[in-house]
Chains A and B, each alone.
Chain A
Amino acid sequence: MTTMDVTTPLPAPGAPRLLLRGSALVLSVGLLASCVGTDDDPAAAPTTETIAPQTSDAATSDAATSDASADATTSDDDQTSDDDEVEAEDVTIVIADFEYEVPDSVAPGAEITIRNEDNVGHTVTSDDETTFDVQVGPGEEVTMTAPDEAGEFPFFCRPHPNMKATLVVEEG
């Protein structure tokens, strides 16, 4: 340690106070340097242990740090997954008061939930009547798969032809 270098030379008899001050200064710098160096010191266990329980069971701070990062990444992944799930849950066509409430757009092949809140049955039928044609009874909820190709798909309700909307399929 640097403190050993400071204490080796003995002070001259004529300047004891100056040497003491200098020694104190050097000692302080050395202690400060040693404190700064605790990040690389395996003996600095309390700090790592404080982190470790929050992140992983790893014994070393490096492991703890990397695990923490991994966990953070995982956490971010979890958040992303949650967002995806939220988005997936949002892919819902709601039928209420004889009107369609359609998401702005859906991904190709996405699973779409159709929820009918009316007391009568409806359909979600593409204008060509072949791309998709799903019946949903009063108060029922069904699922359909969005077309695999991007594009705009106007649709209507067969029992109520004036009910119209458009499903927009586009890449995320």
Chain B
Amino acid sequence: MTTGRAATRADSRRGDAPVTGTREVVVRAVVVLGLVVDAFVHLRMAPVMDIAAPGGIGGGNLFRLQGAVAAAVALLLLVLPRWWTYALAAAVALSALGPVLLYHFVDVPAIGPIPSMYDPLWSPEKVVSIVGEALAAGFALWGLALTSPRRGQRSRSLVPHH
């Protein structure tokens, strides 16, 4: 089994960029892109959600909140790739992916200030947002694994001592 440090040494011998770094950049780019798509779709759909889910605090406001948070976390992750920013990104992406799937298949009634947002129909916006959120969530978990402090400790402990 090749450890991260061993792979880095091998890559360094070949003159390539460090594997972990390149991989992390690609992963981060995908997560940021997914969150940007998530933010764009939510902010774009917010006005019609004011109509579809006017109860409670309003579906439109929830969409605006989701869009704003997704955009902020995407920016944060872009400039600060840390395990906790990846964790935040995963949480934000899952917080959008879970409900969109739930409200697609289940007619959830209003819960407190959260209005009913049932929508069993597919639309391009919904599909795009689901793809973006799924990519963001999956790659964010991957990025979290790549940047996890435990991974570094485990990698160091697995490096053979000569």
Query: Which A residues are closer than 8 A to B by beta carbons?
Result: 98, 119-123, 135, 137-138, 158-163
Query: B116: CB under 8 A from chain A?
Result: yes
* A123: chain B residues within 8 A (beta carbon): 51
Within 8 Å by CB of A159, from B48, B109, B116, lies B48
Interface-side segment among B23-31, B52-60, B87-95 = B52-60
Interface contacts (Cβ under 8 Å), in number, total 43
**A160→B121 contact, CB < 8 A:** yes
Task: Report the minimal beta-carbon distance from A78 to chain B, rounded to whole angstroms.
Answer: 42
* A121: chain B residues within 8 A (beta carbon): 51-54
Task: Report the minimal beta-carbon distance from B138 to chain A, rounded to whole angstroms.
Answer: 27
State the main secondary structure of chain B at its contact with A: loop
Query: Which B residues are closer than 8 A to A by beta carbons?
Result: 48-49, 51-55, 107, 109-110, 116-123
**B117→A162 contact, CB < 8 A:** no
Task: Report the minimal beta-carbon distance from B21 to chain A, rounded to whole angstroms.
Answer: 43
Task: Report the minimal beta-carbon distance from B146 to chain A, rounded to whole angstroms.
Answer: 39
**B123→A162 contact, CB < 8 A:** yes
**B116→A119 contact, CB < 8 A:** yes
* A119: chain B residues within 8 A (beta carbon): 107, 109-110, 116, 118
Q: In the assembly, what is the distance between CA of A159 and CA of B63, in Å?
A: 13
Known: A119-B107, A119-B116. A137 touches B54 (CB 8 A): yes
* B54: chain A residues within 8 A (beta carbon): 121, 137-138
Known: A121-B51, A159-B51, A160-B52. A138 touches B116 (CB 8 A): yes
**B55→A138 contact, CB < 8 A:** yes
Task: Name which of B51, B55, B120 has the most chain A CB atoms within 10 A of its CB.
Answer: B51
24 CB contacts below 8 A, A to B, read: A98-B120, A98-B121, A119-B107, A119-B109, A120-B52, A120-B119, A121-B51, A121-B53, A123-B51, A137-B51, A138-B55, A138-B116, A158-B48, A158-B51, A159-B48, A159-B51, A159-B119, A160-B52, A160-B119, A160-B121, A160-B123, A161-B123, A162-B121, A162-B123
Task: Report the minimal beta-carbon distance from A129 to chain B, rounded to whole angstroms.
Answer: 12
* B49: chain A residues within 8 A (beta carbon): 159
* A163: chain B residues within 8 A (beta carbon): 121
**B52→A122 contact, CB < 8 A:** yes
Given contacts A120-B116, A159-B48, A163-B121, 4 further A-B contacts (CB under 8 A): A119-B118, A121-B53, A137-B51, A162-B123
* B123: chain A residues within 8 A (beta carbon): 160-162
* B117: chain A residues within 8 A (beta carbon): 120
- When C-beta atoms are compared, the residue in chain B nearest to A97 turns out to be B120
Task: Report the minimal beta-carbon distance from B56 to chain A, rounded to whole angstroms.
Answer: 11
Q: In the assembly, what is the distance between CA of A98 and CA of B103, in Å?
A: 14
* A122: chain B residues within 8 A (beta carbon): 51-52
